[in-house]
Structure 1
Amino acid sequence: LARGAPAERARAAAILVTPLKVMLDQTRTSLQAGPVTRETLPPEISGDWVAKDGRALVQVFPRGDGNDNRVLARFTAAVRAVAPAATGLPVATQEAAKTVARAFVEAGLLALALISLLLFAALRDLREVAFTMAPVVLSGFLTLASCVVIGQPINFANIIAFPLLFGVGVAFHIYFVMAWRGGATDLLQSSLARAVLFSALATGSAFGSLWLSHHPGTASMGKILMISLAWTLVCALIFEPALLGPPKAQTP
């Protein structure tokens, strides 16, 4: 480079020296730092915290574990008692939880009502409708109890498993009710029981694949679906025949 033409040295200087000058200017500026006030802040920064009418943004944080729902609920209630229009992640999380829970209750009641109406249209007997729905309700309670025993929390990802329980449970139990009203005996030793068992195994293979997912929400949904399917099968093969009793055609 020393023996090169002046034009080559000029190009090398432009490549090496110019960035160095920029870096030195930045270092020189940083060494001349002074007090920072609201007036010296750039508008794009101060505008995020102070509105044009003078109102200021205030941020507060919960005391304790921010991942604990009880801490967030207590914090949200305390903040909204002072500022009802407060927003932020804790408020949004609590409101979303209430919305999902309310929607789940509405969907569950609606599904229960519609399934009951369809069963009544097919069976034309309130007693037989109750025989079909009772094991479904029981399997739901047993699923919730199992989640408590094993420490499986119910969250937004896996709560969808419970409405599915209605469809799967009714599909199993109505077969036994229809066979019972037709006079069938020894339901557990019949081909119907084997068909229900194999159907549950086929359904369980799909639910089990969800349980093996690496996504925590999908895995928890598959886990609860498998638990509910197991209890649904137990109720269908054990509780339902005991509930039905002697065949309807043989009842005096």
Structure 2
Amino acid sequence: MRNDVAGIGVRGETSLRRGLSLLDTFRRGERELSLTQIARRAGIPKSTAHRLIGELVAWGGLERTEDGLLRLGMRIFELGKSVPLQNELADVARPFLDDLYNITHKTVNLAVAHGLEIVYVEKIEAPDAPTVSRPGERYPIHCTALGKAILAFSPPALSDRVIQRGLIARTSHSITSVALFRKELAGVRSTHLAFDREELVPGLFCIATPIFDSSGHLLGAISVSSLESMAGARNLGPALLTISRAMSRELGEHVVASA
């Protein structure tokens, strides 16, 4: 009896993990996928994918289009909006991001760390800017200004894990030297400003700074992107630092009021 129950538990866990892996097959900019595409990317048989998709559709995690394709469902959106820390952070940060956008007229972003990646929490996109990321999307933490701003003020063990995994290049400008990467983080700790010099997307420059609560706990980072040059990025440093300090004060007051 115990063996049967244990077996059911293992199978159930595997089924759940496979079901969640289907949701991970949707990539940036892709709104709809076919059953064949989902099965291939998830690395599971079409028959298994068909069964799991049926369960996800019934739950609301996936939706079928009129053309028979599949897209992420409203339940995923609702769950994302229920994550307390990110939503509280986004709610407090939004007016400050508006101010930063009005000052720069460039795309502004808010992100947090999750494992060895950053997750975009909030974004205000300039009309003429290329769409590189959307809220909820993830990117490697080592080749973004947001990620470097977070890494510089995180425990050293996190940057050690990033280095041990390997500084994989996304463009020809990505930093792959461990010594140079550590020097870069040291500079961020000194100035509170981090830069992306075409390291994620060719032709795209970015400047970021960390944000803290009133107790000095690191919460995430904000950035201005879609910049055309490093000179343009550096010029925005004072405005970015001013906004981040005001945001940190507000976050501290908000946390106290909510306690």
Structure of larger gyration radius: 1
More strand per residue: 2
Higher relative contact order (CA 8 A, sep 6+): 1
Q: Normalized against structure 2, the TM-score is what?
A: 0.24
More helix per residue: 1
